[in-house]
């Protein structure tokens, strides 16, 4: 049985989130939380928060053993981009793209 949690419209680039994803994918939930807790990246805090939400969702379901959950997949998809501009020389302006992400965490029970 799979359990999912999604965090949307997070103000961080999906590319930065994907750098952290590989460290926790495929690990048991407790090991993944321990690893994320000591990573200095902002993305680690956001993934940890989403992971805790997925564990809470699993706790609400009947027939799911929370102690046997494994992080099956973590994805960071691009959300809408905020477009801003910065004034430059000679009256020009250059675009600044402030990217957002949708973080999805999927947990599954480890087979015995």
Task: Express each pLDDT in 32-71 by its tens digit.
Answer: 999 999 999 999 999 999 999 999 999 998 888 889 999 9
Q: Give the position of tokens 């090991």.
A: 31
Mean pLDDT value of segment 68-77: 95
In the structure encoding, which two tokens stand for residue 24, read together? 């926790």
Q: Is 80 exceeded by the pLDDT of residue 112?
A: no
Q: For domain 2-109, give the fold.
A: Ribosomal Protein L22; Chain A (3.90.470)
pTM across the whole model: 0.90
**Domain extents in the chain:** 2-109
List all residues 6 or more positions away from 112 whose beta carbon is below 8 Å from its beta carbon.
68
Q: Is 60 exceeded by the pLDDT of residue 31?
A: yes
Torsion of CA 16, 108, 79, 56, to 10 degrees: -100
Burial profile 82-93: b = 16 or more Cβ within 10 angstroms, e = fewer: eeeeeeeeeeee
């Amino acid at each position: 049985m799979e359990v999912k949690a999604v965090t949307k419209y997070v103000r961080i680039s999906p590319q930065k989130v994907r750098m952290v994803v590989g460290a926790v994918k495929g690990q048991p939930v407790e090991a993944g939380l321990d690893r994320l807790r000591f990573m200095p990246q902002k993305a680690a805090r956001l993934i940890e928060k989403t992971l805790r939400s997925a564990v809470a969702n699993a706790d609400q379901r009947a027939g799911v053993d929370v102690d046997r959950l494994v992080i099956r997949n973590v994805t960071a998809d691009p959300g809408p981009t905020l477009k801003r501009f910065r004034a430059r020389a000679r009256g020009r302006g250059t675009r600044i793209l402030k990217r957002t992400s949708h973080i999805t965490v999927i947990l599954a029970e480890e087979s015995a």
